[in-house]
Amino acid sequence: MSQSVKEVADALANHCRTQTEAEALNTLYHPDAVSVEAMAMPGSDGAETKGLEGIRGKHAWWDANFEVHGGAVEGPFMHGDDRFGLIFRLDATNKQTGERSNMEEIAVYHVSDGKITREEFFYTGS
């Protein structure tokens, strides 16, 4: 039997709090999951990344480019029987520029048959 959306949500929040997101990708995500940024990143094809390999690449890019000093994860916040949200707060330094900043974002996750099929990131910005 597949996990409920609340079980998936609690498990993902826990992985994010213990910096074990790589394990979350293996156990909680659908192989064809889609990850959608708030906007297209410079040099990318667009805002959407399709499939687990691409999402693992996004995590690797983040780890290579940012040093995280601290952070917090709030939630999960549930909506209906197929979605939940998390709030991320991060204190991180961009390794290229040396700029340290406090980042905050909302992530919304879609769940189908006990697997995360889509993640969408919402950022503050001008």
Site for a copy of itself, rule CB under 8 A: 36, 38-39, 47, 74-80, 83-85, 87, 104-106, 108, 120-125
Shortest CB 98 distance to a copy of itself, Å: 26
With respect to a copy of itself, which residue has the nearer C-beta, 91 or 105? 105
Contact 118, 34 (CB under 8 A): yes
Minimum CB distance to a copy of itself, residue 120 (Å): 6
For 4, 41, 57, 66, 68, the CA distances from 47, given in Å and listed in that order, are: 28, 7, 14, 20, 23
In the complex with a copy of itself, the residue whose CB is nearer, 58 or 83, is 83
Query: What does the alpha-carbon distance between residue 37 and residue 10 come to, in Å, rounded to a whole number?
Result: 22
Q: How far is the CB of 78 from a copy of itself (least distance, A)?
A: 6
> 97 by DSSP, 3-state: which?
coil
Distance from C-alpha of 57 to C-alpha of 54, rounded to nearest angstrom? 5
Between residues 66 and 122, which has the closer beta carbon with respect to a copy of itself?
Answer: 122
Nearest to 49 by CA among 37, 61, 31: 37
Q: How far is the CB of 21 from a copy of itself (least distance, A)?
A: 20
Report the residue number, 67 or 74, with the smaller CB distance to a copy of itself. 74
